[in-house]
Amino acid sequence: MICNDVEPQINGDISGRLLSADDHNPVAYATIIDVSSYENGTTSDKNGKFFLVFRNASNTSVKLKISCIGYQDTIVSVSTRDGKKLEVLLQKRAYALPEVTIRGESMAEHIIGIPGGTILKNKNGELTGLIPSNSAGFSCGVFIKIPGKKVGVLKSIEYFILSRGKPEAPFMLRFLKAKEPVLPNRMYTEDMFTDLMKEPIVTSGQSGWNTVSLLDYNISLPHNELFILFTPLESGDEYKWMDNGKEWYGMVLGRYEKKRVRGLYWAIRAKGTYSYDDTPFRQNITPAIVLNYLSE
């Protein structure tokens, strides 16, 4: 359901607020992407407000896809020239996520990745990382192959942030499992995956190694495969930065110096699709991430 309240705005700008249809409380940290071109995207703030700037205002009509954990995906059509402020009511989505019981000594700890691992440097001695995020719905992460099919729970995730960019920028952690086995170097749409969490983890970090404890979230261990995405939360120009004439957003994840780390692959979300890379050219691009989990 959409309510339009006319307010004067500059052509090419769209702003609005996301509310829960049940109680009209703000829906924070939802993703809003222009699926007409996949060239613009943002996230709602803690008050459910969002703001999009369209560099090409000649595209007078766009379709915005609004996604948030716990709510049904919503697509709205809107003009970039009407100067309207949107109010979008999102319908809650029912989840049936399995509960995981941790039975103390019966659970063993497992680690995928290299705790405190060395980060790759370029020829100038500078630490290097993955491609940064931008405002077109692009974000990086990791695809993890988990050995065996055991019952378990995620314990913690560690990740390295470069000093380059905006290391203090907030972001959302998403944990996704595929509904069926996925192959490398292929693009999969959102409906291929299931969120392992009822609510997102919103956090921020600092340059160097960071740790987020996951036990309180009771995230069940998926069988064999797991996507973990680091999605930036846009807050206007505060966390934007320029590099080689291009505009980027938020923090930059580091890369291991070791070219291949068993079980870890570079993953991306781009233009509404998900994939992980295992081509020979990309095999030395391994995200500096450590996953700790408990299983029987």
Predicted confidence (pLDDT) at residue 198 exceeds the cutoff of 60? yes
272: its two tokens: 């509404």
**pLDDT for res 2:** 47
Contact of 170 with 238, CB cutoff 8 Å = no
Q: How far apart are CA 179 and CA 190, in angstroms?
A: 11
Residues 55 and 127 placed together within one structural domain of the fold: no
Mean pLDDT of 159-174: 90
CA–CA distance, 105 with 103 (Å, rounded to integer): 6
> Does some domain include residue 274?
yes
**3-state class (DSSP) for residue 11:** coil
* Weakest-pLDDT range from 15-19, 55-59, 274-278: 55-59
Confidence of residue 27 (pLDDT cuts 50, 70, 90): very high
pLDDT at 209: 97
If asked whether residues 265 and 164 sit together in one domain, one would say: yes
pLDDT at 203: 85
CB-based contacts of 260: which residues, under 8 Å, 6+ apart?
283, 284, 286
Sheet holding 74-79, edge to edge: 41-43, 31-34, 61-67, 74-79
Same domain (yes/no): 161, 17: no
Calculate mean pLDDT across residues 182-194.
Answer: 89
Residues 49 and 188 occupy one common structural domain: no
Identify which has the larger pLDDT, 114 or 62: 114
82-137 pLDDT per residue, tens: 666 889 999 987 655 555 555 545 678 999 999 999 999 999 999 999 888 765 56
Mean pLDDT of 34-47: 76
Let me know if residue 97 belongs to a domain: no
CA–CA gap between residue 78 and residue 59 (Å, rounded): 11
Residue ending a domain, among 90, 112, 128, is 90
For residue 267, the cross-strand partners are 141, 276
Specify the pLDDT at position 288: 95
User: Do residues 179 and 285 both lie within one domain?
Assistant: yes
Same domain, 112 and 46: no
| C-alpha–C-alpha distance, residues 210 and 162, integer Å | 11
pLDDT at residue 287 in the model = 93
Predicted confidence (pLDDT) at residue 25 exceeds the cutoff of 90: yes
Regarding predicted confidence, which is higher, 18 or 106? 18
Amino acid occupying residue 229? L
H or E segment to which residue 75 belongs? strand 74-79
47 plus 157 within the same structural domain: no
| 280 lies in the same domain as 163 | yes
Q: Are residues 123 and 151 in the same domain?
A: yes
* Residue 150 covered by a domain: yes
- The span from the CA of 31 to the CA of 17, in Å, is 12
Mean pLDDT of the chain: 82
Whichever domain contains 56, its CATH number is: 2.60.40.1120
Confidence band of 11 (pLDDT split at 50, 70, 90) = very low
Same domain, 82 and 164: no
Of 90, 122, 149, the residue at which a domain comes to its end is 90
- Residue 238 maps to a domain: yes
Locus of tokens 């700790």: 292
Q: Of 90, 119, 136, at which residue does a domain stop?
A: 90
Look at residue 269 in the predicted model and tell me its pLDDT. 86
> Which of 77-81, 112-116, 210-214 has the least mean pLDDT?
77-81
SS3 category, 31: strand
Give the whole-angstrom CA distance, residue 189 versus residue 257: 31
Which position has the token pair 């846009």?
234
CA distance 32 to 66: 5
* In a domain? residue 96: no
Task: Write down the pLDDT at residue 9.
Answer: 38
Expressed as residue numbers, the domain containing 59 is 2-90
Does residue 4 surpass a pLDDT of 50? no
User: In the chain, how many domains are there?
Assistant: 2
CA angle 194, 239, 292 (to 5 degrees): 40
Confidence of residue 174 (pLDDT cuts 50, 70, 90): confident
At 188, which CATH number?
Answer: 2.60.120
